Copies of this chain bind each other. A is one copy, B any other.
Amino acid sequence: MNFASDNTAGVAPAVLDAIARANRGFALGYGGDELTRAVERRIAALFERDAAVFLVSTGTAANALALAHVVPPWGGVLCHAEAHIATDECGAPEFYGGGIKLIGLDGVGCKLSVATLSAAIDRHTGHRPHAVQAAALSLSQVTEAGTIYTVAEIEALCDVAHSRGLATHMDGARFANALVRLGVTPADMSWKAGIDILSFGATKGGALAAEAIVIFDPARADTMHERRKRGGHLVSKHRFLAAQFDAYLADDNWLAWARHANRMADRLADRLAGRGLTPVWPVDANLVFVVLPAETHARLSAAGAAYYARRSASLPGGMALAPGDVLARLVTSFATTETEVDRFTEITSG
């Protein structure tokens, strides 16, 4: 019953197989090998355009490099106050960006609204050179609350951002989970909706350690080679990074794994709701947030259920936790089983 994170799951067997397959003979290091080139092209093709692709090992690296690439050191990144980049990356974007400022905004379910974004851009525009200028919008798709933006919502937000001169970034650590829920194409949910640069995650979806920075305008991509290298993120035996994406994307594995994870989340949500534990936010992807009474939490912990208690200022209208209550974050993955889900929900009933 491990719902602590989608990175507590291991690696999908197909990914391990691909790594083993890539382990034949010699290959140029540092991304000069053929498999890397092929995977870069494949990812671009997946997005239906001539995008520049840079593979790295962690999501934090992808986000920090991407933001530093599109924001000057004196720029501000508008994001939800509880966005991963703002709360869980130990200042990586600030470090890579040479001291950029992350400006956290409110919004229920960790989602930004157009009104909130517009007002924030107003507040952080002008008064040069005293004030940091809004320079980028960063959206998490899936958000940290497990909600997702519709394509129309992304478009509206990106339109506002672009009309005010901001670049747009998407933290797609769980891109696949959002994609299969929306039933749209990768292009629809990214550059066609206005995203300039994407952190395209595979690790949480089943890879070992593989993320891609996708720059949709390759003309703006050149110096990312240097950024990545001096960040220490140019993996030497690079073919093994590429192999992970190769397997992830092959046969629509990534979509199937994401669908499974989402299905497990839905099942969890349904069963919990059936027991009076209705999720706090819509279960749009593979995260379920429920408020557990202290006693239920104790019982689950005693039974070995693993999950994190969270705090959030992003709860729906007026909602607050009673003393002792725990806001439990339950994350499913490609590796979650129905048995686990069912056992977890049974224990909640005492």
Known contacts: A20-B16, A237-B209. The answer to whether A231 contacts B230 by CB under 8 A is: no
Whether the pair B230, A73 counts as a contact (CB closer than 8 A) is yes
Bound Cα distance A62, B231 (Å): 11
- Check A226/B95 contact, CB under 8 A, given A8-B26, A203-B237: no
* Residues on the B chain within 8 Å of A218, using CB: none
In A1-56, which residues have CB < 8 Å from any B CB? 2, 4-5, 7-11, 13, 16, 19-20, 22-30, 56
Highest count of chain B CB atoms <10 Å: which of A27, A90, A128, A311: A90
Residues in B with CB closer than 8 Å to A26 are 2, 4, 8-10, 306, 335
Is A233 engaged at the interface, CB distance under 8 Å to the other chain? yes
Residue of B nearest to A62 (CB): B232
Interface residues on A, range: 35 or more
Inside 8 A of A232's CB, which chain B residues have their CB?
A: 56, 58, 60-62, 64-65, 89, 92, 96, 231, 233
Which one of A26, A28, A96, A306 has the highest number of Cβ atoms from chain B below 10 Å of its Cβ?
A26
Which of A97-105, A136-144, A184-192, A288-296 is near enough to bind chain B? A97-105
Interfacial chain B residues near A56, Cβ < 8 Å: 232
For A84, the closest partner residue in chain B by CB is: B130
Number of copies: 4
Q: Nearest Cβ in chain B — how far from A232, in angstroms? A: 3
Instruction: List chain B residues, Cβ under 8 A from A8.
Output: 26-29
Contact of A99 among B91, B229, B234, B306 (CB under 8 A): B91
Specify which chain B residues have a CB less than 8 angstroms from the CB of A4 in the assembled complex: 26, 28-29
Shortest distance from the beta carbon of A78 to any chain B beta carbon, whole Å: 14
**What distance in Å separates the Cβ of A319 from its nearest Cβ neighbour in chain B?**
18
Interface residues as binary, A57-101 with B (CB distance below 8 Å gives 1, 0 otherwise): 111111011000000111000000000000111111011111111
Given contacts A16-B20, A16-B23, A27-B10, contact A234 B129 (CB under 8 A): yes
Question: Measured between C-beta atoms, what is the minimum distance from A72 to chain B in Å?
Answer: 6
* Distance, CA A87 to CA B95, complexed state (A): 19
Complex contacts, A129 vs chain B, CB 8 Å: 90, 225-226, 228-230, 234
- CA separation between A100 and B97, bound complex, in Å? 11
A240 within 8 A of B: yes
A333–B227 Cα distance when bound, in Å, is: 29
Distance of A5 Cα from B62 Cα, bound (Å): 27
The answer to whether residues A237 and B208 also contact, given A27-B10, A98-B98 and a CB cut-off of 8 A, is yes
Chain B min CB distance to A205 (Å): 12
Q: A203-B236, A237-B203 known; A91 and B100 CB under 8 Å?
A: yes
Could you name 9 residue pairs across A and B whose Cβ atoms are closer than 8 Å?
A: A4-B26, A7-B29, A16-B20, A60-B232, A61-B233, A73-B91, A74-B95, A90-B229, A129-B228
